[in-house]
Amino acid sequence: MNLQELETQVASGQIDTVLACIVDMQGRLMGKRFHAEAFLEMAEGETHCCNYLLATDLEMATPDGYASTSWERGYGDYVMKPDLSTLRPVPWLEGTAMCLCDVLDHHSHAPVPHAPREMLKRQIARAQELGLTPVMATELEFFLFQGTADEIARGGFALKPISNYNEDYHIFQTSKEEYVMRPIRNHLRAMGLPVEGSKGEAEAGQEELNLKYAEALACADHHTLAKHGVKEIAHQHGVAASFLPKWHQDRVGSASHVHQSLWRDGANAFFDPDRPHGKSRLMDHYMAGLMTYAAEYTYFMAPYINSYKRFAKGSFAPTQVVWSVDNRTAAFRLCGEDTRGVRVECRVPGADMNPYLAQAVMLAAGLKGIEEQLELPAVFAGDAYADDDKRHIPRTLAEAREALLGSDMLKAALGEEVVAHYARAAEWEIEEFNRVVTDYEIARGFERA
């Protein structure tokens, strides 16, 4: 939807509300609901939001320790600058459209460096300086549970999946869930998102939504809007969609794999038909960067305590930093072997990732690999879960945070202040978890300790 189309639909009464949204650290939409006529008055200008929106946790708490904003500094404003190229309808909300906004400093109007959308834009610009265009695709895995999220919370989180058995590629079981999944596909497609399809995933009540590849920023926008839409549409149909990576220790987790390639002059620069697997030297260097710096950027793939429960043997989630050809036990899977669609799939990110941050840091690592002409290790064959000699993905959030803090690569690519900002976010998650007494501790030790 362009601005003229919005003006026409507002004048006809088809649209009366516009959501102006930023993307927060957790990858959620935050912002304001404008009367559509008021939005049109400011659409090419700006509005404002509190700067604490890029320094909160999942509970919207305001932790201390951030240099960018604090109680001492008074929690001032950021500028929300509408990106009118993202204007689109929200078909599942009556009379509503949406526009994503970039986040600018209130005084200088410079982009806020730790804003997720800006972080990705900076890495895209690095690639463009090399004549390359990053192209990405993400997979959204999630669970559907009986009852709305509010009802589940009131019931003490006694979670009951929408189905009773593994529904991976299962047509009959997913037919029973079409009352939720069909409107999800159709509404998101009507919103302008390139939805290709959905399928049952490898657990009871687990779904996967697939979006067509796009240039990196558009891919992250599509992912964020789709995730938001899935939650809202599921709620409208009396169920809850959860992107928690691991809701039960005996159940498979939810991932968000990221497919990556670099294009030049409209063609996939990762493709070279004269080399093994059809991958170019450029792809080798990019993949080598992904692997070399994997531990340093893992925090952005797995930002919470729960994220690391997903990395388990025999679960289709990776544990070892290896690459392989069409092998789902590896952290990095080469897909589209010997075709023009050759690409690398990173299987590390969980469903809780922020796609802007995940894509930004993987681009940073891959571009560093190209700059340094890093050599790609030998291809791995076999069961990566059985090979303990390889580098293990960080096992805890604390381990990932330490690797992040020690990353000269990310400090150079993102800025030291940005690395410190997200390291504080990780530290806060650890502090909050460590002070809580869990149900597990009580059940295990109440009588026996």
End-to-end, the C-alpha distance of the chain in Å comes to 62
Residues 373, 271 share a domain: yes
Residues 426, 382 share a domain: yes
Could you say which of 60, 85, 112 is where a domain stops?
A: 112
Determine the structural domain holding residue 163 and report its residue range.
123-439
Helix/strand number for the chain, H first, E second = 14, 16
Q: Domain for residue 449, yes or no?
A: no
Cβ neighbours around 2 below 10 Å, total: 10
* CB 153, CB 59: distance < 8 Å: no
Q: 253-270, pLDDT tens digit by residue?
A: 999 999 999 999 999 999
Phi, psi of 182 (to 5 degrees): -65, -50
In this prediction, residues 97-101 reach a mean pLDDT of 97
Res. 372: pLDDT tops 80: yes
Q: 116-159, pLDDT tens digit by residue?
A: 999 999 999 999 999 999 999 999 999 999 999 999 999 999 99
Give Cβ neighbours of residue 161 (< 8 Å, ≥ 6 apart). 143, 144, 145, 146, 203, 204, 205, 206
Let me know if 222 is exposed, middle or buried by CB neighbors in 10 A (0-12, 13-18, 19+): buried
Beta strands of 289-353 (E only): which ranges? 323-325, 332-335, 343-346
DSSP one-letter string for 97-129: EEEEEEEEETTT-PBPTTSHHHHHHHHHHHHHH
Residues 184, 50 share a domain: no
Res. 216: pLDDT tops 90: yes
Residues 133, 92 share a domain: no
* CATH assignment of the domain containing 35: 3.10.20.70
pLDDT of residue 43: 87
At 422, the pLDDT band (50, 70, 90 cuts) reads very high
Could you say which of 62, 87, 112 is where a domain stops?
A: 112
Residues 321, 248 share a domain: yes
Phi, psi of 157 (to 5 degrees): 60, 40
Q: Domain for residue 447, yes or no?
A: no
Q: By mean pLDDT, which of 41-45, 252-256, 408-412 is the weakest?
A: 41-45
Q: Domain for residue 287, yes or no?
A: yes
CA distances to 122, 263, 330, 334, 335 from 346, in Å? 21, 18, 9, 9, 10
Spatial separation of the C-alpha atoms in residues 413 and 270, rounded to whole Å: 22
* CB 220, CB 145: distance < 8 Å: no
Spatial separation of the C-alpha atoms in residues 304 and 26, rounded to whole Å: 10
Q: 329-358, pLDDT tens digit by residue?
A: 899 999 999 999 999 999 999 999 999 999
In this prediction, residues 70-86 reach a mean pLDDT of 88
In this prediction, residues 426-448 reach a mean pLDDT of 94
* CB 76, CB 175: distance < 8 Å: no
Spatial separation of the C-alpha atoms in residues 205 and 163, rounded to whole Å: 5
Q: Domain for residue 253, yes or no?
A: yes
| Average pLDDT across the chain, whole number | 95
Spatial separation of the C-alpha atoms in residues 447 and 401, rounded to whole Å: 35
* CB 149, CB 232: distance < 8 Å: no
pLDDT of residue 331: 93
Q: 383-404, pLDDT tens digit by residue?
A: 888 876 668 999 999 999 999 9
Residues 181, 93 share a domain: no
pLDDT of residue 388: 67
* CB 54, CB 78: distance < 8 Å: yes
pLDDT of residue 71: 80
Residues 292, 246 share a domain: yes
Provide the CA 358 distance to its chain's centre, in angstroms.
6
Let me know if 15 is exposed, middle or buried by CB neighbors in 10 A (0-12, 13-18, 19+): buried
pLDDT of residue 32: 96
Provide the CA 58 distance to its chain's centre, in angstroms.
15
Residues 150, 288 share a domain: yes
pLDDT of residue 337: 93
Q: Indicate left, alpha or beta for 93 from its phi (over 0: left) and psi (-120 to 50: alpha).
A: beta
Residues 421, 387 share a domain: yes
In this prediction, residues 76-84 reach a mean pLDDT of 93
* CATH assignment of the domain containing 167: 3.30.590.10
Percent of the chain with pLDDT over 90: 87
Q: Domain for residue 445, yes or no?
A: no
Q: Total structural domains in the chain?
A: 2
Residues 435, 345 share a domain: yes
User: Comparing 171 with 187, which gets the higher pLDDT?
Assistant: 187
At 284, the pLDDT band (50, 70, 90 cuts) reads very high
Spatial separation of the C-alpha atoms in residues 33 and 99, rounded to whole Å: 10
Residues 195, 133 share a domain: yes
Q: Domain for residue 117, yes or no?
A: no
Res. 76: pLDDT tops 90: no
Q: Domain for residue 173, yes or no?
A: yes
Spatial separation of the C-alpha atoms in residues 180 and 194, rounded to whole Å: 18
Could you say which of 78, 112, 146 is where a domain stops?
A: 112
Residues 146, 277 share a domain: yes
Res. 314: pLDDT tops 90: no
Q: Domain for residue 448, yes or no?
A: no
